[in-house]
Structure 1
Amino acid sequence: MQMTDMQFGAARPVDGYGPGFFRVAGEVHHGPMIAAPDGVHPWRGMEAPEEIAALAGQVDVVLLGTGADPAHLPAEFRAALEEAGIGVDAMASPSACRTYNVCLAEGRRVALAALPV
């Protein structure tokens, strides 16, 4: 079997995560965060869909990490993103981080909004 390294170009992959933090492109970010094409930003969480909706036109889908366990998104939250034209796929944060990295390596227009584990 041949192994091929993922190539990210200028994108910022998630290097790791742990209790209360994420490491993105070598920098540690504490608390909920959004990794988007323009950088990594703090996120106020599920009460702030407008912070993700602001990415309209920059991304096609947001991978939403719900923390240590999978969870359903509040209907109002999902509706706000769909109204902005942004698809959202919710999953546990570890899965969201891995999926985000794969999508980045494929050159997709993706962002990650994640709650820490």
Structure 2
Amino acid sequence: MRMDRDRPAAGPLVRGFGPAGFKVDAPDGTMGVYPALLLTATRADAWTPPPLESLDAAALAPVLGEAIEFVLIGTGTDLRRPPRALIAALEARGIGVEAMDSRAAARAWGVLRAEDRRIAAALYPLED
């Protein structure tokens, strides 16, 4: 699936996704495809995520160093609930958690970044 926006957001944008991963335009004009992905307003990084039930703040450390409102967690092909301990740990730091399937999270990323929201995203692969 290809996604385009009328008003581009600053930073890396997810331009599409499929079985191979997420197609991302980086701020420097390069494009990459990532099976799993960590996103901030300034960068896109390949990610080797732990099983969702083991996800903790340490696994998200690369995106938690920036001032963010919340983290979008794309849980893969289906919506699954992240661990309660992760949600509690992030909320204790003043960071909200929004979980959705990875396709929805990839779409939401562009919309929320176009609104200049201070967010990060952790997208699990679309194929298990």
| TM-score w.r.t. length of structure 2 | 0.76
Instruction: Determine which structure has greater relative contact order: mean sequence separation of CA pairs < 8 Å that are 6+ residues apart, divided by chain length.
Output: 1
Q: Which runs of 5+ in 2 are unaligned?
A: none
2:83 aligns to what? 74
Aligned residue runs from structure 1 range 16-31, under 5 A: 16-25=16-25, 27-31=31-35
Aligned residue runs from structure 1 range 65-104, under 5 A: 65-104=74-113
RMSD: 2.1
Q: Which runs of 5+ in 1 are unaligned?
A: none
1:11 matched to 2:11? The reply is: yes
Structure 1 window deviating more from structure 2 (42-51 vs 95-104): it is: 42-51
1:49 aligns to what? 57
Distance between the aligned counterparts of 2:69 and 2:13, measured in 1?
17
Distance between the aligned counterparts of 2:46 and 2:56, measured in 1?
11
Q: For the structure 1 residues 102 and 50, does the alpha-carbon distance in structure 2 shift closer, same or farther, using more than 3 Å as the test?
A: same
**The one of 53, 64, 68 aligned to 2:73:** 64
Counting matched residue pairs gives 113
C-alpha displacement at 1:6, in angstroms?
A: 1.9
Deviating beyond 6 angstroms after TM superposition, the runs of 4 or more aligned structure 1 residues are none
Kindly provide the amino acid, as one letter, of the partner of residue 86 in structure 2. Answer: F
SS at match of 1:111: strand
Kindly provide the amino acid, as one letter, of the partner of residue 6 in structure 2. Answer: D
C-alpha displacement at 1:105, in angstroms?
A: 0.7
Q: Could you tell me whether the CA contact under 8 Å between 2:12 and 2:42 is conserved in 1?
A: no
Identical amino acids, percent of aligned pairs: 35
| TM-score w.r.t. length of structure 1 | 0.82
Q: Deviations over 1:17-59 (max 9, x none)?
A: 1224111115224332111123112334243422435525521
